[in-house]
Chain A
Amino acid sequence: MTDLKQLDLELRAGRLSRRDFLKAAALFGLSAAAPSVLLGNPAYAAAEPKKGGHLKIGTGHGSTSDSLDPASYENNCMQSAGKTIHNYLTQVDAKGQLGSELAETWEAADGAKKWTFKLRSGVEFHNGQKMTAKDVIASLKHHAGKDSKSGAKVIVDAIADMQADGDNTLVITLKEGNADLPYQLSDFHLAIMPADADGKVDAKAGVGCGYYKLKKFDPGVKTTVEKFPNHWNAGAVHLDSADFITIADVTARTNALTTGEIDVADRLDVKTLNLLARNKNVRVIETSGNAHYSMPMRCDTDPFKNNDVRLALKYAVDRPAMLETVLRGHGYIGNDHPIGRANRYLDKNLAQRAYDPEKAKFHLKKAGAEGLKVQLSTSDAAFAGAVDAAVLYKEQAAKAGIDVEIVREPSDGYWANVWMKKPFCFCYWGGRPTEDWAFSTAYAADAEWNDTAWKNEKFNQLLLQARSELDEAKRAAMYAEMQAILNDDGGTIIPIFNNYLTGVTDKVGTPEVIANDWDLDGQRAVLRWWKTA
């Protein structure tokens, strides 16, 4: 640790740039979260949390079309606000460990097919109703059914049956075994809401049993929450109230942060981050999570049917250069599988694919596709900088003898008309907290968003096996093998993972460890942070 302290000192003295610090820190084998903490002023982290105060969060997300229905939460603003208003059966803590929330304990039986949850008693909803297993069942059912528009439809559709055994016991029977169910139940969609006599929830009412209750909701403008004094664990949070203010323009957001009109700003602009870091009243919190940029190739379309072509294209990316150019180093390089640093079973021993034009040429030759020409569809709708990334890739691939033709697509309708449709394009994933979830969302043969149309038998077998495997070590081995298969055979290039960049003023206190599963401290900033003044 002394070496680290030395590094930290040099960083503060200005002898070491932030980036060099991160590089050097990585050499010491630091975990992803550590540099972010060290970069912050230790005084904030060491201080005892102070009770009270009002936190204003400026987010780049949020739109006038937002709705309070948890099934429709689709952006960081609503998801973060949702986690203040609502409680979930389980929660993922700042260190990435699964913990209890409304469910006190749970156990699996019958090959992870039958799950019994013991629910907390004495939980009160904001409308005064007491929480029982019936409310949980109604809340989960809200996402199920043929007409469901919920983002959590996949999770609840896997449920065969739910039974309440008294007020505080819930038995869930799944169609197939799933060891990750408790993890999935922490999903931001699956908020527990009060049920009426008919066993239905009024999802748009914004009533939950969270630490905070909804005070005002003006979609696309501002959401205000205030502390709910009757919460079963009210002492755990520090703030009295909080605002989520939608500030779509990143310059406006940064301005508001520097002038102290807001306390927290998410999604900072990497291009001006260095200038912002000079401001003494602002500190930047950086976390490496699972969010990544990907380049899916349709494996049912020529020339991508041939794995050697795919491998050639994978070897033709200079990942560190792309990281440096597109994200100014605020991220980490990917290894062509979607498992990131916030996942449990990231295989650190899997060899990192490097930029190797010679190997790319070798694979092209093997595929008989020398002088390969491909069209790459891109638009900044995929992610900010996707057009730059495409230009960069064109240059890098040219050295391997691949001619990449860049097709600029309109931002409007990119997800509807380009992604999943064009043979080779750019895409963005927010990442998924569990391996099974990440794989079954976009890599399983029958996944609705299998954007590469990649079907690998071995991979799909392992996916099913690992899902119901309760032995940690065996699971880790299976997931490691799946990462290797994806790396070697998969249809997507995953060049870089992007960091979450959040700016806070000197009036905000944060705990030592900042979660990296989602943006804004696992979308729980309001529940974990405090005001120092």
Chain B
Amino acid sequence: MLSILRLTLQRLGLGVLVLFVVSLIIFLGVELLPGDLCQAIQGQSATESTVAACRKDLGLDQSAPTRYVHWLQGIVKGDFGKSLANGRQISELISVRLQNTFFLAIVAAVIAVPLSLTLGILAALYRNSWFDRTINVFTLSSISFPEFFVAYILILVFSVKLGWFPSLSDVSPDTPFFERLYKVFLPALTLTLVVMAHMMRMTRAAIINLMASPYIEMAKFKGLSRGRIILHHALPNAWAPIVNVVALNLAYLIVGVVIVEVVFVYPGLGQLIVDSVQKRDIPVVQACSIIFAATYVVLNLTADILSIATNPRLLHPR
């Protein structure tokens, strides 16, 4: 147990280092974006004097290294600074949207993870049967279509034709929980369809892989039922790859939902980052990117720790 704790701390330290490097890359990347924030804000109506006034106002006339150091100091203190475009506190701007993004990701995960694990186990159990094939074809087709297409189809069926669910998921902080759940159903379903295939097929493959092992052979000779073999003997050893794939998909649910947010008009972080890139609102882009990077780091860390916890052999690498 102590070694797991040590390992966790070690990984956390590495994570912070990764985040630091990421922050540098983000800053450099944003610096390389063409165009100018003040030009972008004022669009066609920008004139030389108004642009100069705007640049001075926003501190854009300072050098890049100075701005980077200021920014990093701010982040350490938990202060992301102010949005250049509308002068609001970024932490305030992001917090609501981050909650929305997490809410949608959690709802999608709550549907997608158990569903794909169950389907994966069932597919392994009834390998090569009609059931297995149907599930495979269905999940592979849904992952093959672009997200916006899946979203439009769902809107057409459930919103325009049947009228069961709204096509606009315009939630706000004061939306009651169940109404919120109702409003995010279609985007969550879209995301479920998009991420399900990956998790389901990994579960199936990991279990089938183990089914050839000698200890499963032994269990078969003991006369155990197939279901019991899979659930009690194969699955515990299959967790490591499954957990990793689940973590990867959860990260995707948080950082990769821009298109779904646009189609369903869901006020999440993705929409904010797109708007901010278009408007050269650099502090907001940087803050969002750091949050996305942190999400990846934390989820991967969790996956690592979980897979080690389920497979003690990994604690003693040789």
Is A259 a contact partner of B35 (Cβ separation < 8 A)?
A: no
Contact of A415 among B46, B50, B54 (CB under 8 A): B46
- How many residues of chain B get a CB closer than 8 Å to chain A's CBs? 48
Q: Which of A151, A216, A221, A416 contacts B40 (CB 8 A)?
A: A416
Contact in complex: B152, A251 (CB < 8 Å): yes
Do A259 and B166 form a contact, CB below 8 Å, given A63-B279, A64-B275?
yes
Show 28 residue pairs from A and B whose CB-CB distance is below 8 angstroms, ordered by the A residue.
Answer: A64-B276, A64-B284, A65-B41, A65-B276, A67-B87, A74-B42, A147-B56, A149-B50, A149-B53, A151-B45, A220-B271, A220-B272, A220-B275, A249-B262, A251-B263, A252-B167, A252-B168, A252-B264, A255-B155, A258-B160, A259-B160, A410-B34, A413-B34, A413-B40, A415-B43, A415-B46, A428-B44, A449-B47
For chain A, residues 247 to 261, give those with C-beta under 8 angstroms from any C-beta of chain B: 247-249, 251-252, 255-256, 258-259, 261
Chain A 59-99 residues near chain B, CB threshold 8 A: 63-67, 72, 74
Whole-angstrom CA separation of A74 from B279 in the bound complex: 13
User: In B109-152, which residues have CB < 8 Å from any A CB?
Assistant: 152
A292, CB-defined interface residue at 8 Å: no
Confirm or deny: A218 has a beta carbon within 8 angstroms of a beta carbon on chain B: yes
Question: Among B36, B40, B50, B279, which residue has its beta carbon within 8 angstroms of that of A148?
Answer: B50
Partner of A252, one of B265, B276, B279: B265
Q: By CB atoms of chain B within 10 A, which of A64, A204, A262 has the most? A: A64
Is A261 within 8 A of B166, CB to CB? yes
Least distance between B32 CB and chain A CB atoms (Å): 12
For the A-B complex with A149-B57, A220-B271 known, give 19 more contacts whose Cβ atoms are closer than 8 Å: A64-B83, A64-B86, A65-B85, A65-B281, A66-B86, A74-B45, A147-B57, A220-B267, A222-B172, A247-B168, A247-B265, A248-B262, A249-B262, A249-B263, A259-B166, A416-B39, A416-B40, A448-B47, A449-B44
Pair B54/A149 contact, Cβ less than 8 Å = yes
> Do B167 and A416 touch across chains, with their CB atoms under 8 A apart?
no
If A74-B45, A149-B53, A259-B159 touch, does A221 touch B86 (CB 8 Å cutoff)? no
Q: Is the CB of B46 within 8 A of A221?
A: no
Interface residue A401 (Cβ < 8 Å from any Cβ of B): no
Chain B neighbourhood of A255, CB < 8 A: 155, 159-160, 167
CB-contacts of B13-57 with A (<8 A): 33-36, 39-50, 53-54, 56-57
In the complex, how many residue pairs between chain A and chain B have their CB atoms under 8 Å apart?
126
Task: Say which residue of A63, A204, A262 sits within 8 Å of B87 (CB atoms).
Answer: A204
Give the 5 A-B residue pairs with the shortest CB-CB distance, closest first: A65-B85, A413-B35, A416-B39, A67-B86, A147-B53
Is A419's CB within 8 Å of the partner chain B? yes
- With A252-B167, A416-B39, A448-B47 as contacts: A219 and B267 at CB distance below 8 Å: no
- Output the least CB separation between A154 and chain B (Å): 9
Q: Which residues of A contact B219 (CB under 8 A)?
A: none
Distance from B47 Cβ to chain A, minimum over Cβ atoms (Å): 4
B262's closest neighbor in chain A, by CB? A249
A245, B278: Cα distance in complex, Å: 19
Residues of A within 8 A of B (CB): 63-67, 72, 74, 146-149, 151, 153, 204, 216, 218-222, 245-249, 251-252, 255-256, 258-259, 261-262, 410, 412-413, 415-417, 419, 427-428, 448-449
A64 touches B271 (CB 8 A): yes
Residues of the B chain whose Cβ atoms lie less than 8 Å from the Cβ of A427: 44
Q: B170 in the interface, Cβ–Cβ < 8 Å?
A: yes
| Residues of chain A within 8 A of B159, CB atoms compared | 255, 259
- B224 touches A (CB below 8 Å): no
Q: Which residues of A contact B35 (CB under 8 A)?
A: 412-413, 416-417
A153 and B50 contacting across the interface, CB-CB below 8 Å: yes
- Complex Cα distance, B279 from A412, in Å, reads 10
From 255 to 304 in chain B, residues with beta carbon under 8 angstroms from any chain A beta carbon are 262-265, 267, 271-272, 275-276, 278-279, 281, 284
Which of B39, B49, B166, B170 has a CB less than 8 Å from the CB of A146? Answer: B49
Q: Which residue of A lies closest to B265 (CB)?
A: A247
**Chain B binding site: helix, strand, loop or mixed by DSSP?**
helix
Contact B53 A148 (CB under 8 A): yes
Residue B163, interface by CB 8 Å:
yes
The residue on A at minimum CB distance from B272 is A64
Distance between B71 CB and nearest chain A CB, rounded to angstroms: 19
Which A residues are CB-close (under 8 A) to B34? Answer: 410, 412-413, 417
Query: Provided the pairs A64-B85, A218-B267, A412-B34 are in contact, do residues A245 and B168 lie with their beta carbons within 8 angstroms?
Result: yes
Any A CB within 8 A of the CB of B9? no
Nearest neighbor of B281 in chain A, beta-carbon distance:
A65
Q: Which residues of chain A are near B263, meaning CB under 8 Å?
A: 249, 251-252
Enumerate chain B residues within 8 angstroms of A417, measured Cβ to Cβ: 34-35
Q: Any chain A CB within 8 A of the CB of B93?
A: yes
Partner of A64 from the list B33, B56, B57, B93 (CB cut-off 8 Å) is: B93
User: Do A256 and B168 have beta carbons less than 8 Å apart?
Assistant: yes
Contacts of B167 in A (CB 8 A): 252, 255-256, 259, 261
Chain A residues with Cβ below 8 Å from B265 are 245-249, 252, 256
- Is the beta-carbon distance between A261 and B168 smaller than 8 angstroms? yes
Separation in Å of the B62 CB from the closest CB of chain A? Answer: 18
When distances are taken between beta carbons in the complex, the residues of chain B under 8 Å from A147 are: 53, 56-57
A248→B275 CA distance, assembly (Å) = 10
Q: Which of B39, B48, B83 contacts A65 (CB 8 A)?
A: B83
User: Once bound together, how far apart are the Cα atoms of A204 and B83, in whole Å?
Assistant: 14
- A146 and B53 in contact, given A249-B265, A255-B160 (Cβ under 8 angstroms): yes
Q: In the complex the two chains form, is A221's CB within 8 Å of B160's CB?
A: no
Nearest opposing residue in chain B for A441, CB measure: B45
Q: Which of A63, A72, A247, A412 has the most CB of B within 10 A?
A: A63
Across the interface, which residues of B come within 8 angstroms of A74, CB to CB?
A: 41-43, 45
B46 smallest CB distance to A (angstroms): 7
Min C-beta distance of A199 to chain B, whole Å: 21
Q: Given that A412-B34, A412-B35, A416-B35 are known contacts, is A65 also in contact with B279, CB under 8 Å in the complex?
A: yes
B102 to chain A, nearest CB (A): 17
Residue of B nearest to A416 (CB): B39
Q: Which residue of B lies closest to A63 (CB)?
A: B275
Q: Given the interface contacts A247-B168, A251-B152, A252-B263, does A259 sit within 8 Å of B163 by beta carbon? A: yes
Contacts of A64 in B (CB 8 A): 83, 85-86, 93, 271-272, 275-276, 279, 281, 284
In the complex, A67 Cα to B42 Cα: how many Å? 12
**Contact (Cβ within 8 A) B45 A65:** no
Q: What's the minimum C-beta distance from A202 to chain B, rounded to whole angstroms?
A: 13
Q: Name which residue of chain A comes closest to B96, CB basis.
A: A218
* B49 partner residues in chain A, CB cutoff 8 A: 146
* Contact residues in A for B48 (Cβ distance below 8 Å): 448
Residue of B44, B50, B272 touching A419 (CB-CB under 8 A): B44
CB distance from A337 to the nearest CB of B (A): 19
Decide if B262 touches A252 in the complex (CB within 8 Å): yes
Pairwise interchain contact B43-A218, C-beta atoms closer than 8 A: no
